[in-house]
């Protein structure tokens, strides 16, 4: 486990501000085999799929398996988000929704807006003003 990951608080301090109010879980390498994705029942047509995993907790007795139900639409979204991505891109994220225009913005090219959400530089200039050269940067 990385030294900067606290199993009781898996969101690294200062990271992922957009999701700061959400519940976070951490699955370390030794629990990776607990990750499972498959039909939620006995494989009958029309069943939703289930993603399950066991997150790390400071106290091993507190570990509880988590189940996430995926409808066909959400499973398709999961596939779309991860297909054709390199392992590095899947692990670190690659883009986010621009808080101002709604299009995807590559995280390495995004700037935070006044609410600390990622936005395109051109959208930032259009919304808040700023140097015109920033639009082209």
Residue reference for tokens 């009781």: 8
Q: Is 44 exposed, middle or buried (0-12, 13-18, 19+ CB in 10 A)?
A: exposed
Q: Is 88 domain-assigned?
A: no
- Provide the domain limits for residue 24: 1-83
Q: Is the pLDDT of residue 1 over 50?
A: no
pLDDT of residue 91: 52
| Helix, strand, coil share of the chain (percent; to 5) | 30, 20, 50
Q: What is the distance between the alpha carbons of residues 74 and 60, in angstroms, rounded to a whole number?
A: 31
Q: Is the pLDDT of residue 89 over 80?
A: no
> Out of 29-33, 48-52, 85-89, 119-123, which region has the weakest mean confidence (pLDDT)?
85-89
What's the predicted TM-score (pTM) here? 0.49
Q: Is 89 domain-assigned?
A: no
Total number of domains in the chain:
2
Give 67 or 60, the one with higher predicted confidence.
67
- Same structural domain, 101 and 55: no
Strands 104-106 and 95-97: antiparallel
């Amino acid at each position: 486990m990385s030294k900067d990951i606290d199993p009781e608080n898996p969101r690294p301090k200062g990271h992922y501000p957009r999701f700061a109010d959400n519940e976070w879980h951490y699955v370390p390498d030794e629990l990776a085999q607990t990750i499972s994705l498959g039909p939620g029942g006995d494989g009958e047509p029309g069943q939703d799929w289930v993603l399950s995993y066991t997150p790390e907790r400071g106290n091993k007795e507190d570990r509880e398996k988590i189940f996430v139900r995926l409808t066909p639409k959400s499973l398709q979204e999961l596939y779309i988000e991860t297909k054709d991505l390199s392992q590095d891109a899947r692990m670190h994220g690659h883009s986010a929704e621009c808080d101002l225009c709604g299009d995807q913005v590559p995280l390495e090219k995004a700037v935070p807006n006044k609410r600390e959400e990622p936005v395109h530089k051109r959208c930032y200039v259009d919304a808040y003003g700023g140097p015109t050269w920033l639009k082209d940067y």
